[in-house]
Amino acid sequence: MKKTNLLLLFTLFVSISVLAQLKERKLDKVIQHSLETFDVPGISVGIIKDGKIVYAKGHGVRSLTNKKEMNKNTLVGVASNSKGFTCFALALLADEGKLDWDDKVRKHIPEFKMPDAWVTEEFTIRDLVTHRSGLGLGAGDLMFLPEGGNFTIDDVLANMSKQTPESSFRSEFKYNNNMFIIAGEVIHRVSGLTWEEFIEQRILQPVGMKNSKASYNRVTDKTNIIDAHTRTEGKVIQIPHDWSDLANPAGGIMSNVTDMLTWADFLMNDAVTKNGERLLSEKQMHNLWQLQTPLPVRKNNDYNTHFSGYSLGWFVSDVNGHLQVAHTGGLLGTVTQFTMIPDLDLGIVVLTNQMVGSSFSSITNTIKDSYLGYKDRNWVEKKGKSNEGWISYNDSIKKAVYKKVDQMLKKNTDASLKIKGSYKDEWFGNLVISKQNNQFFIHSERNTAIKGELLPYNATTYVAKWDNRSFDADVFVLFTFDENGIAKEAIMKPIAPITDFSFDFEDLHFTKIEGK
């Protein structure tokens, strides 16, 4: 009888092991399928459940140049997943009585100013991190993207008042990175530490995120780090890392799957470390995940979601009856996703080195579905078709634009309606248009990376074709002329909707500088 019981126990153990192995193999297959479908060089994925890491692997390569394998410890820029750290830092300072979420920003930064005087006086720290400023999507992001500009925190503070609001204060969700940069300056002025020092000393190190750093430039050992990649003119290529330290509070942290799973476990354990140390009060931890700015929810959605919105550094929603706390992040050449379902004690991390959000969401959704009881919904295939259609749509727009440009060039029309000279935008500074050998060029005086050709499109419109093709952000430049055919003003408009919102060229309004 004892032998029979032992045999049954052994058989059960083997069966469980095989099932676990099959489950892992299935996930391996899904990730590999995602790599191929979305043309992503490398993806690392991690899952933590009930305090235990049940999956942590890298797939593909860190770089198309060195071909080294991606693994669970490969460092990746987590981008806007850094926003949760910035808010955790503010919560730590609130615990210490050094600030309050509803402190007016001007209490800590007297020179802070918004376009409206009343809004300036009423703007709180809470408003900084909940995307309800009234400014437009990505307003002012050209102060830090692409890397190569000379803007400072003083410029950010001065230039917020020069933005044009798109909605009334606190009425709509409009994602804004610069407000998080200002929140980082609040942390600096209140604590006496730089944002980077505070994040590393007060959060990363105590939590146990051993390999993470608060910025790319603080990573001293780059032997296991990704290179960024993006699809440029039909082909995925490696591109240089591109992120300004100015914007670290909005998206600067470098981490890996191992450390991000530690972060997820820590947060879902109510801000208590593995050593039993509580870093944040229960009250403040609870506040971090409370809905602040609501977002609309589609009637028929994938997870029977009834509410959605932004809390303090996090997107919160309900998925199949459970609270989900999540965020995504994107840099030039990198996109990431971090997801927690606290009452299931489930954390999911997906880090990639290519700019296709469908790659991470297809993997996250597949994993999430397995814990929520959904049958296989073929997310990679579904999102793959959608992504293919999106790329084809944008490519068709760009192809049509440049076909018209070629026609204009063949006509050899010297459309030099006297557009040469310097043009000033109130916050972005000067653009210079020059002419060499009957060809126009355009460049920014404040950011050396923003430069390229200026090609004719019609009698009053040109196309700025940026030298750095990885931007995928070419724009129409629409001129206004006086009665003598001399350009007086110019505005910009993206030629294709795929243009990242942080290339906020459409927010600029240039006026010709007389005599230049």
pLDDT tens per residue, range 492-501? 999 999 999 9
Q: CA-to-CA distance for 347 and 349, rounded, in angstroms? A: 7
Residues 365, 444 share a domain:
no
- Establish if 382 belongs to a structural domain: no
Q: Is residue 152 assigned to a domain?
A: yes
Cα separation, 234 vs 157, in Å, equals 39
What is the total residue count of the chain?
Answer: 516
Residues 459 and 366 grouped into a single domain: no
List the alpha helices (DSSP H) in 165-241.
Answer: 178-191, 195-199, 205-207
CB atoms within 10 A of CB 239: 19
Domain count for the chain: 2
Nearest to 303 by CA among 257, 361, 261: 361
Which strands form 334-341's sheet, in the order they lie side by side?
52-60, 42-49, 346-352, 334-341, 322-331, 315-319, 308-310, 293-295
Backbone angles phi, psi at 14, to 5 degrees: -65, -40
Q: Cα(271)–Cα(277) distance, rounded to whole angstroms?
A: 8
pLDDT, tens digit, for every residue of 309-339? 999 999 999 999 999 999 999 999 999 999 9
Q: Are 282 and 270 in contact (CB under 8 A)?
A: yes
Residue 9 lies in a domain: yes
Measured CA to CA, the distance from residue 235 to residue 354 in angstroms comes to: 12
Which SS3 state, helix, strand or coil, does residue 175 take?
A: coil
The enclosing domain of 283 has a CATH number of: 3.40.710.10
Is residue 398 domain-shared with residue 348, that is, in the same domain? no
Instruction: Please tell me the predicted confidence (pLDDT) of residue 281.
Output: 98
pLDDT > 90: what percent of the chain? 91
Give the Cα separation of 274 and 164 in Å (integer).
Answer: 47
Q: Is residue 384 part of a domain?
A: no
What is the three-class DSSP state of 21?
helix
**Do residues 437 and 354 both lie within one domain?**
no
Is residue 171 included in any domain, yes or no?
A: yes
The predicted pLDDT at position 417 comes to: 64
Which pLDDT score is estimated for 324?
98
Looking at the fold, whether 351 and 287 belong to one and the same domain comes out as yes
CATH number at residue 457: 2.40.128.50
Q: What is the per-residue pLDDT for 416?
A: 53
Domain encompassing residue 499: 394-512
| Residues 30 and 147 grouped into a single domain | yes
Tell me the β-bridge partners of 129.
Answer: none
Q: Which residues does residue 464 pair with via DSSP β-bridges, in sequence order?
A: 454, 475
Q: Are residues 240 and 341 in the same domain?
A: yes
Tokens linked to 408: 């204009």
Sort 75 into a burial class: Cβ within 10 Å, 0-12 / 13-18 / 19+. Answer: buried
Structural contact between residues 343 and 367, judged by C-beta atoms closer than 8 angstroms: no
Query: Could you give the CA distance from residue 137 to residue 297 in angstroms, rounded to a whole number?
Result: 19
Residues 410 and 442 in one domain: yes
CB 326 within 8 A of CB 309: no
Average pLDDT rounded to a whole number, residues 410-427:
82
Contact 243, 228 (CB under 8 A): no
Please tell me whether residues 92 and 58 are part of one structural domain: yes
Determine contact, residues 325/314, Cβ cutoff 8 Å.
yes
Integer Cα distance of 130 and 110 in angstroms = 21
ω before 249 within 30° of 0 (cis)?
Answer: no
Q: What is the pLDDT of residues 449-493, one digit of tens each?
A: 999 999 999 989 999 999 999 999 999 999 999 998 899 999 999
Mean pLDDT of 202-209: 98
> What's the rounded mean pLDDT across residues 123-141?
98
pLDDT digits (tens, 9 = 90+) for 251-278: 999 999 999 999 999 999 999 999 999 9
User: How far out from the chain centre does Cα 73 lie?
Assistant: 21
Asked whether 180 and 83 are in contact (CB, 8 A), the reply is yes
**Given the DSSP bridges, would you call strands 293-295 and 52-60 parallel, antiparallel or unpaired?**
unpaired
341 and 483 housed in the same domain: no
Question: Is the bond preceding 146 in cis, omega lying within 30 degrees of 0?
Answer: yes
- Asked if the structure places residue 389 within a domain, the reply is no
My answer on whether 364 and 447 are in the same domain is: no
Tell me what pLDDT residue 484 has. Answer: 87
Is the predicted pLDDT of residue 239 greater than 50, yes or no? yes
Do 411 and 354 share a structural domain?
Answer: no
- Across the chain, mean pLDDT equals 94
CA dist 334 and 330 (Å) reads 6
Q: Write out pLDDT tens, residues 84-122.
A: 999 999 999 999 999 999 999 999 999 999 999 999 999
